Amino acid sequence: MPGEEIFEKGRFEPPSEFKEKAIVKSESIYEEAERDLEGFWAKAADELHWFKKWDRVLERNHPFYRWFVGGKINASYNCLDRHLDTWRKNKAAIIWEGEPGDSKTYTYQQLHHEVSKFANVLKSLGVKKGDRVTIYLPMIPELPIAMLACARIGAIHSVVFGGFSAQALQDRINDAEAKVLITADGGYRRGKIVPLKKNSDEALENAPSIEHVVVVKRTGEDVPMKEGRDLWWHDLMKNASHVCEAEPMDSTDPLFILYTSGTTGKPKGVVHLTGGYIVGTYLTSKYVFDLKDEDIYWCTADIGWITGHSYIVYGPLANGATVVMYEGAPDYPQYDRFWEIVEKYGVTILYTAPTAIRAFIKWGEEWPKKHDLSSLRLLGTVGEPINPDVWLWYYRVIGNEKCPIVDTWWQTETGMILITPLPGISVLKPGSAYRPFPGIKAEVVDDDGNPVPRGQAGNLVIKSPWPAMLGTLYKDPERYKRQYWSQVEGAYFTGDGARIDEDGYFWLLGRIDDVINVSGHRLGTMEVESALVSHEAVAEAAVVGIPHEIKGQGIAAYVVLKEEFKPSDDLTKDLKMHVRKVIGPIATPDEIHYVDKLPKTRSGKIMRRIMRAIKTGKDIGDVSTLEEEAAIKEVREK
């Protein structure tokens, strides 16, 4: 297999102490789930609270699978009320840290209180079961409170990431026909104020479905309030009752919509259904993060993304965990903010993204080294393939070679983690996401849907239903069928490339449209990028295919250097030689460009589509998800 050497960087067993205490201790869990898929998930569902038990675990109305049919359940009840008649009542549910350094802790009881009050506020504004509520907030406690309040009364929330523009917000409000918008005066990001209310006002110039706007006071600057439409959160909460029974929902009722960008300009409204979603996120949180009552768990994602929905809010709270939530940027006020937070709260489980780790590598080891990180016992990653060398750095510098790393593969659409190690039993290979979670059947197939031989790259598909799977695309079931179920008969098409090695380990290769074809050889962008990142000077790299007269496609590489290295012709030669050596001559980049930043989505994924378009002189299309315009300019000028 090309690039084998860069993908085999040793094997890592869980430390014996970790193994002994782990929730999942035995491989038999895989057979158990395989033997009886429905029984496996029913057992998990049984650990949660149901107003009425389901009649059938799974209804296979392909591709509209439905879980726990006939059951009555409430997600907010399972995240809150379920813990109140246990000792967890006075346990910290959310430890929140603001960017300026303020902080606040909510026990389960306090969180329940706030959520119930806000649920009553929503009711008083005329919000009913099935109505949509758009939430456009910074990472402040009011965000999970608003979500859980919606879930409590059966309103469908649609969280729009606070970094999105007024236009993106408007499109999402209009598609969902939301009745109420919840926002804030502003939010803090890198010491500056993000003008959320101003963006909201702009969005609402053409969003006729909105009747009311609830505004949280966060930054305190002056914002105009439109008479009759706009109301302050704190005013509404003042007199609200804290008694609000959770609404028994059908298991198959929608819990939320989350928009995710597709290949066309129009974002897709991914719909998640109550029962299956809460069961799926509950069990994966417990098993993948080995989540125990003593843990201080921190997922650094923004709640505006699925990672925050599933693994800050619903999954961990359904487990009664203590969750750390941070409002701001990792480099504010300095490069060690994350490590300061880990030390301050004694974080035991840290779940972050490869893009963040690559930034830490660029900033240098001295920043984490300033802090006591010895509380950490488990690390996780999500969002992109992790380069083996980045994995090793994370393992050594952050985990002090004693924390397993769970590289978790999943999507907005899958709702829950699908490919992942189980930290107490899996022997890890850096850069591999290990194998499907118990009960998940994943395969790598060619374009005709036939399984490819071990070691070969192909399309990743999922061949069995799982509880947190999307129910449909909002108001567009046809697109749902076309997008996910029409490429390979009977299978969910992920859009990701992957290969399975001879030991059955899955290696994710990036999105299928990122594949490069050099003289008939299919290369995942990931392979060339990992080769570049294994060079001592490179912090981060992105490669794209460019038209080439002879080879069909050639390779252009964009490289971000670590702070102590400078671009030079010698370095360029050296990098080309290095890639030749680790993968082979076929993968030698034709061009190497040095940049300060790569164009990324706001959730940190490299936007190769844009780089490719610039390189080939095409229209760059929809850039609403782009984090920083400046990065495009840089790529353009190279």
Supply the minimum distance, in Å, between the C-beta of residue 141 and ligand 7RM. Answer: 23
Supply the minimum distance, in Å, between the C-beta of residue 604 and ligand 7RM. Answer: 9
Site for ligand 7RM in 385-414 (CB under 6 A): 385, 407-412
User: Amino acid identity of 253?
Assistant: D
Give the H or E element holding residue 255: strand 254-260
The alpha carbons of the chain give a radius of gyration, in whole angstroms, of: 24
The residue (of 298 and 410) whose beta carbon lies closer to ligand 7RM is: 410
User: Which stretch, 272-280, 360-368, 489-497, 583-591, contacts ligand 7RM (CB under 6 A)?
Assistant: 489-497
User: Which stretch, 204-212, 228-236, 494-502, 570-578, contacts ligand 7RM (CB under 6 A)?
Assistant: 494-502
Q: Which of 496, 527, 529, 627 binds ligand 7RM (CB under 6 A)?
A: 496
Site for ligand 7RM in 115-134 (CB under 6 A): none
Site for ligand 7RM in 85-114 (CB under 6 A): none
Supply the minimum distance, in Å, between the C-beta of residue 502 and ligand 7RM. Answer: 20
- Asked if 442 touches ligand 7RM (CB under 6 A), the answer is no
Supply the minimum distance, in Å, between the C-beta of residue 391 and ligand 7RM. Answer: 11
The residue (of 116 and 494) whose beta carbon lies closer to ligand 7RM is: 494
Distance CA 104, CA 456 (A): 50
Token readout for 547 is 């038209």
Supply the minimum distance, in Å, between the C-beta of residue 290 and ligand 7RM. Answer: 18
The residue (of 174 and 260) whose beta carbon lies closer to ligand 7RM is: 260
Supply the minimum distance, in Å, between the C-beta of residue 126 and ligand 7RM. Answer: 33
Distance CA 167, CA 386 (A): 32
DSSP at 605: -
Site for ligand 7RM in 245-274 (CB under 6 A): 260
Angle at 265 between CA 262 and CA 266, to 5 degrees: 75
Q: Which of 291, 433, 512, 559 binds ligand 7RM (CB under 6 A)?
A: 433
Query: x/- binding map, residues 284-313, to ligand 7RM, per CB under 6 A?
Result: ---------------------xxx------
Nearest to 507 by CA among 442, 597, 577: 442
Token readout for 25 is 């201790």
The residue (of 251 and 310) whose beta carbon lies closer to ligand 7RM is: 310
DSSP at 587: G
Query: x/- binding map, residues 349-388, to ligand 7RM, per CB under 6 A?
Result: ---------------------------------xxxx---
Supply the minimum distance, in Å, between the C-beta of residue 178 and ligand 7RM. Answer: 22
Give the H or E element holding residue 535: none
The residue (of 511 and 600) whose beta carbon lies closer to ligand 7RM is: 511
User: Do residues 83 and 320 lie in contact, with contact meaning Cβ atoms separated by under 8 Å?
Assistant: yes
The residue (of 95 and 433) whose beta carbon lies closer to ligand 7RM is: 433
The residue (of 183 and 411) whose beta carbon lies closer to ligand 7RM is: 411
Distance CA 226, CA 450 (A): 59
The residue (of 18 and 409) whose beta carbon lies closer to ligand 7RM is: 409
Q: Which of 135, 180, 508, 610 binds ligand 7RM (CB under 6 A)?
A: 508
Supply the minimum distance, in Å, between the C-beta of residue 354 and ligand 7RM. Answer: 8
Total number of residues binding ligand 7RM (CB under 6 A)? 21
Supply the minimum distance, in Å, between the C-beta of residue 510 and ligand 7RM. Answer: 6
Distance CA 331, CA 325 (A): 16
User: Where are the strands (E) in 512-619, listed by range?
Assistant: 516-518, 521-523, 538-548, 552-561, 591-594
Straight-line distance from the first to the last Cα atom of the chain, in angstroms, rounded to the nearest whole number? 33
Measured in degrees and rounded to the nearest 5, phi and psi for residue 56 equal -135, 135
Supply the minimum distance, in Å, between the C-beta of residue 5 and ligand 7RM. Answer: 20
Sign, CA dihedral 413-283-71-142, equals: negative
Distance CA 135, CA 119 (A): 14
Give the H or E element holding residue 489: none
Site for ligand 7RM in 157-216 (CB under 6 A): none
User: Facing residues of 428 across strands?
Assistant: 12
Length of the chain: 638
- Exposure letters 378-388 (e unless 16+ CB within 10 A, then b): bbbbbbbbbbb
The 3-state secondary structure of 423-470 reads CCCCCECCCCCEEECCCCCEEEECCCCCECCCCCEEEEEECCCCCCCC
Q: Residue 254 burial (CB < 10 Å; 0-12/13-18/19+)? A: buried
For 506, other C-beta atoms within 10 Å of its C-beta total 22
- Asked if 511 touches ligand 7RM (CB under 6 A), the answer is yes
Distance CA 252, CA 68 (A): 8
Could you tell me how far CA 385 lies from the centroid of its own chain?
13
The residue (of 231 and 299) whose beta carbon lies closer to ligand 7RM is: 299
The residue (of 74 and 387) whose beta carbon lies closer to ligand 7RM is: 387
User: Which stretch, 2-10, 490-498, 543-551, 565-573, contacts ligand 7RM (CB under 6 A)?
Assistant: 490-498
Cis peptide bond upstream of 368, omega within 30: no
Site for ligand 7RM in 590-609 (CB under 6 A): 603
The residue (of 98 and 471) whose beta carbon lies closer to ligand 7RM is: 471
Rule CB under 6 A: which residues touch ligand 7RM?
260, 305-307, 382-385, 407-412, 433, 494-496, 508, 511, 603
